[in-house]
Structure 1
């Protein structure tokens, strides 16, 4: 039955080395709009991230798989608005994502770096908060285990990994809602992402002890670990 299992053989166009560079850049540029209404990090900032941050010292946050950089840029804006000192490191191993993120206007307190989380573990780096957006469905089981182990080491207070949940309702709704997004991979890759993503029950079966899976509106999973 359609969507009854994860489609691990499906590959997103933007993950292919030979994808069109102009189309890829338009996709990165459109992520900010998609994430604003689908990922809804503003709510997570207010309810989960901001409460664990200090008001008297500079806090640190690591965003893993930052893509075009819209989510860490939003964190920087919200921290400034709330009077919180926050130093953000945003990492992505893809040189194309790194190049696009660095081509955007500079955001105070935000640094982009081309790297894997395992490299930061090897360097002994640690951060108050570790986040990722729409990364989990890209990973193999071994890569997911590695990401969560890295997050446990890297985060001293909170780790949040937000991703899509695979649902038969969300798939056609996303397909219809993204029809206006022309000239990018948003619609095509978004549907592939849904096919690759976890049910909440599937995610609970594979995450190690200490991680909690929360279902969120609309059609989302949130992996949470508090140190």
Structure 2
């Protein structure tokens, strides 16, 4: 745990991984992320105060995977009487197919794309988010993601796991009785070993970014904390 083990690869990322286990993994993301990711608190603290009852705030979820975060943000906002439009992007055709096969939710769309594709197309949003994606990236890829995030939105929230013995052992023990028929447990433990610590990120990220610990197990890499005027872009509701 002294340094990132970037030579490790998650099983679900292999192009020839078992399709049944991959399907189960996507289906179980909503459960495991609800327990471990902390996005309900992030939404309450950092997203909900900037949403509006009258104007639509546009949110981009990069690396949206099975689509659970994009759908959760839309659900929470609707329950609070607030307007959002959430776009989830993922370059993996399998993730894109899974997310688009789910029952539709008003204001949520999924596309197969890289963040750089959206930058090249001149697209923009009010907020960029991602969940448990940073640990997948090399140093160069991290720089590219942060570059794209700055150009796509005035504010970003990238949440991920903090690498530690506590996180590794805790995830292993808590998931051992469950998720036996998917990649959740082995890939989750690999993810911890690949993850950054907040201190490591603060040493390498550009000015304007900061890694904020949210618990002993995770952090949020934030950008533009003083931006996004309440009320979003004022785009018409979808």
TM-score, structure 2 normalization: 0.92
Q: Deviations over 1:81-129 (max 9, x none)?
A: 1111111110000000001111111111000000000000011111111
After TM superposition, give the deviation of residue 218 of structure 1 in Å: 4.5
Partners of 1:20 and 1:218 in 2: how far apart?
33
Partners of 1:72 and 1:218 in 2: how far apart?
25
Structure-2 residue corresponding to 1:114: 112
Partners of 1:206 and 1:191 in 2: how far apart?
24
Classify the secondary structure of the residue corresponding to 1:127.
Answer: coil
Structure-2 residue corresponding to 1:9: 7
Structure-1 residue corresponding to 2:156: 159
Partners of 1:88 and 1:125 in 2: how far apart?
14
Q: How many residues are aligned here?
A: 224
Structure-1 residue corresponding to 2:235: none
Partners of 2:144 and 2:7 in 1: how far apart?
20
CA contact (8 A) 1:59 1:86 kept: yes
CA contact (8 A) 1:67 1:98 kept: yes
TM-score, structure 1 normalization: 0.96
CA contact (8 A) 1:38 1:218 kept: no
Q: Deviations over 1:170-209 (max 9, x none)?
A: 1111111111211100000000000000111111111110
Q: Considering Cα pairs closer than 8 Å and 6+ residues apart, tell me whether 1 or 2 has the greater RCO.
A: 2
Classify the secondary structure of the residue corresponding to 2:201.
Answer: helix
Partners of 2:174 and 2:5 in 1: how far apart?
22
Structure-1 residue corresponding to 2:27: 29
5+ residue gaps, structure 1: none
Structure-1 residue corresponding to 2:173: 176
